[in-house]
Amino acid sequence: MNGGWTIGKRKYKDEVSVMIDGFSEEILNLLCAKMKKINIYIYCSKLQLPKLLNYFINKKCNYEILTYHKTNPTPLCGNTYLPDTEYVVFAREKGVKIYGEYKTKSKYYTDKVNKKDKKLYKHPTCKPIPFLQNHIINSSNEDDIILDCFMGSGSTGVAALNTNRRFIGIELDKVYFDIAKNRIEESLK
């Protein structure tokens, strides 16, 4: 989002600005070192794509760029295209199996922005639960552990539990941690 003027004085400007630079190579190295084999989804901006792709290409991983297309994006399109696409880098080491079936393996997911969840969980980047469930189904077996070390409002935790996986979530922001904890606990009822 260079030239943040397209965001202007909108109230979420500060919320998203901390996400622009994204992941550090140090964190990626730690995550990859802890996995038996690299098998990771990273939800990112288009500005992060080159760095992430180069990182996983250097690790000799297979990768896909998956997308979530919003049918009702925010109208921030002064001198640019609509911000109607979110990106996901899926990287996996040789030998990592992709599970799932035809309907869960699309690289292109379309849904409207869930304004209700954004308002309810007070998080600027709530992801659709079915989108996350597809990724979990495609990359793990029931009873496997799903880790989300940037848990936000807990969408991945809900998706993991909905697909009979165990879940570990990490969130530095105490407010979001409490929101995620309550959301995940509520989904178990």
Percent of the chain residues past pLDDT 90, beyond the cut: 60
Report how far residue 160's alpha carbon sits from residue 154's, in angstroms, rounded to the nearest whole number: 10
Phi and psi angles of residue 63, each rounded to the nearest 5 degrees, phi first: -145, 160
Q: Which residues contact 171 (CB under 8 A, 6 or more apart)?
A: 150, 151, 152, 177, 180
Per-residue confidence band for 127, with pLDDT thresholds at 50, 70 and 90:
confident
pLDDT in the model for residue 81: 87
Report how far residue 96's alpha carbon sits from residue 113's, in angstroms, rounded to the nearest whole number: 31
Per-residue confidence band for 121, with pLDDT thresholds at 50, 70 and 90:
low
pLDDT in the model for residue 18: 47
Q: Tens digits of per-residue pLDDT, 73-103?
A: 778 778 888 888 999 999 999 999 999 999 9
Question: Which CATH number is 4-187's, of 3.40.50.1220, 1.10.10.10, 3.40.50.150, 3.40.1390.10?
Answer: 3.40.50.150
Produce one character per residue of 130-147: b if its CB has 16 or more CB atoms within 10 Å, e if not: ebbbbbbbbbbeeeeebb
Report pTM: 0.82
Report how far residue 122's alpha carbon sits from residue 174's, in angstroms, rounded to the nearest whole number: 13
Domain boundaries, the chain: 4-187
